Amino acid sequence: MSESPKIGLREAVGLLTIFLVAKAFIPYLAFIFDWGLSGTWLIVLAHLPLGVVGVLVLVWLLNRHPGKTIVEIGEELVGPIPNIFLALMLLIFLIGLVALELRQFGEFLLTAFLPNTPLSVVLLAFMAAMLAVAYMGIDTLARVAWLFFLPFLFGVFVLLALTANLWESHGLYPLLGPGPWGLVKGVGSTLGVGSDIILLAIIAPFLASGVMRTVGLATVLISGLTVFSIILVTSMVYPFPVAHELVLPIFEVSRAINLGRFLVRLETIFLPLWMFAGLISMTAGLYGAAAVTARILKMPYYRPFLFPISVIVIAVSFLFPNIISAVQISFNLLITWSVVPVGLVVGTLLAAEIWRSRKNQQKGGPKSGDGPRSGAARGGLRTKPSGKGT
């Protein structure tokens, strides 16, 4: 029986949140302390409203074209040839994201748990697990994400709470870190931290109608607050500049837990959390890249592309000579510059959509995307007049 996958609201929130939060468990987020110093937590807090606005725009665009991914929307709005460039930008972003995360998770494992194992073995093991689950489908992955979502959030907040005896409030002062202008620059330079939400535009056709806005907002709020809590606690446990020097901030925080003779070295307990988060996040990225490729080539199946893309991902992840360069490049590409391709794609499509709507309005025809299905996506088909006397 071949059915198109269906993803429930909870599953979608779980998948997207883990996709966004997983970056907090690998080294490159530590570079954000460069911009915010002791006020880094304010940068993350400032990302929240920006993220909400961004996701509302994205959801508006997706709701205008129900049942379509962003690649298909692009084809409809800007035509097939320009859309190939937009879709390629997305594809390169997703491949880069997975490759860089893969390298960092691999390096993290080597540093913390498997010092004598070759990096290639770890990366191939990661990729084997990711391939197997990506092959099973996005609905399976989303359900696994939901299965793991609540224990994941619970684990992260318990970990942070267990360090309460180490919190030093002076780590948050000076409160504005580099000053107001420095913070604004920091916020602007790290806008790409939320670019991963573009996955919503790839899984959109599989979501039930009317839940996309809830999914987007819940994802941004939960992931924003989680990353905010992690940065805040890290700042209090390891005040700047120590926090800036940490290779693995959250790992070091978990190592710092010391609640008596037996409640020490709890990083072992949290290792599964990080690994699961990494696996889910990278599998989602791998699926996203394969799905975008399939849409570009107008193929109904994404599976044939999984293996070739995984080979590319592995190759890209080996491009960096060492962990330091991998982390630095990751920060620059994923946190600073990733907003450019994602913003360009969404911005272009948004402009095209608005232009088309106005053009249609001037002609007196229906607005773009106001087909019979668009109402359903905004909250169900309306079969009765909404007001009295209408």
Partner 1 sequence: MSLFSKLSRRVLFREPQEYQSLFESGSQEDQQQAPAGDRRQFKRKKAETERLADLINQDVPLPTDLQEIKQTLGKLFRSPENNDVVIRQFIIGMEPPLQALMVFYDGLADKSTQNMAILQPLMFFPSLRPDPGKKLVDSLMDRVAESLLPGNEVVTVRNYQELADNVMNGLTVVVVDGQDRALAVETRAWEHRGISTPQVEAVIRGPQEAFTEQIRANITLVRKYLRRTSLVSKFVKVGEMSQAQCAIMYLDDIANPQLVEEVLRRLQSLKADFIHESGILEQMVQDTDTPLSPQALSTERPDRVAANLIEGRVAILVDGNPWVLIVPTTFFSLMQAAEDAYIRWPGGTFARVVRYVGLAVAMLLPAFYVAAVTYHQDFIPTDLLLAMTGAREAVPFPTILEILMMELAFELIREAGIRIPGTVGTTLGIVGALILGQAAVAANIVSPILIVVVAVTALGSFAIPNYELSVSVRMLRFVYLLLAVFLGLFGIVAGLFVHAALLVQMRSFGVPFLAPLTPMTASSPDYLWRGPVWQQERRPDYLDPLRSRRQPRISRGWTRHKRKGGGGDGGGK
User: 105: which 2 tokens?
Assistant: 């998770």
208 sits near partner 1 (criterion: CB under 8 A): no
Largest distance between two CA atoms of the chain? 77
Separation of alpha carbons 182 and 322, rounded Å: 30
CB nearer partner 1, residue 32 or residue 144? 144
Contacting residue, 49, 241, 272, 366, with partner 1 by CB under 8 A: 272
Question: Stretches 26-34, 200-208, 210-218, 264-272: which one binds partner 1 (CB under 8 A)?
Answer: 264-272
CA angle 186, 239, 271 (to 5 degrees): 90
Question: Stretches 196-204, 222-230, 268-276, 317-325: which one binds partner 1 (CB under 8 A)?
Answer: 268-276
Question: Stretches 8-16, 216-224, 287-295, 304-312: which one binds partner 1 (CB under 8 A)?
Answer: 8-16
CB nearer partner 1, residue 265 or residue 359? 265
Q: How far is the CB of 162 from partner 1 (least distance, A)?
A: 17
CB nearer partner 1, residue 285 or residue 341? 285
109 sits near partner 1 (criterion: CB under 8 A): yes
Question: Stretches 220-228, 276-284, 303-311, 313-321: which one binds partner 1 (CB under 8 A)?
Answer: 276-284
CB nearer partner 1, residue 106 or residue 192? 106
Contacting residue, 81, 169, 262, 364, with partner 1 by CB under 8 A: 262
Decide if 326 contacts 103 (C-beta within 8 A): yes
Question: Stretches 66-74, 124-132, 209-217, 233-241: which one binds partner 1 (CB under 8 A)?
Answer: 124-132
256 sits near partner 1 (criterion: CB under 8 A): no
141 sits near partner 1 (criterion: CB under 8 A): yes
Question: What single letter denotes the amino acid at residue 239?
Answer: P
258 sits near partner 1 (criterion: CB under 8 A): no
Contacting residue, 57, 242, 271, 344, with partner 1 by CB under 8 A: 271
Q: Determine how many CB atoms are found less than 10 A away from the CB of residue 170.
A: 9
Per DSSP, helices labelled H in the chain are 9-21, 32-36, 40-64, 70-78, 80-112, 119-136, 138-162, 180-189, 199-203, 212-237, 242-245, 249-255, 267-296, 306-317, 323-330, 339-363, 374-377
User: 86: which 2 tokens?
Assistant: 């937009």
Q: How far is the CB of 264 from partner 1 (least distance, A)?
A: 8
CA distances from 162 to 103, 167, 256, 274 (A): 29, 10, 9, 17
Question: Stretches 74-82, 202-210, 262-270, 341-349: which one binds partner 1 (CB under 8 A)?
Answer: 262-270
Separation of alpha carbons 151 and 349, rounded Å: 37
Backbone angles phi, psi at 12, to 5 degrees: -65, -45
Decide if 41 contacts 228 (C-beta within 8 A): yes
Q: How far is the CB of 289 from partner 1 (least distance, A)?
A: 18
User: 78: which 2 tokens?
Assistant: 């800007």
Q: Name residues whose C-beta falls within 8 Å of residue 90's C-beta, 6 or more positions apart in sequence.
A: 70, 71, 198, 292, 341, 342, 345
Which residue in the block uniquely carries the two structure tokens 């959250």?
250
279 sits near partner 1 (criterion: CB under 8 A): yes
How many residues sit close enough to partner 1 to count as binding (CB under 8 A)?
33
C-alpha closest to that of 56 among 236, 293, 215, 250: 215
Q: Would you tell me which residues interact with partner 1 (CB under 8 A)? A: 8, 10-11, 109, 113-114, 117, 121-122, 125-126, 128-129, 132-133, 136-137, 140-141, 143-144, 146-148, 262, 265, 268, 271-272, 275-276, 279-280
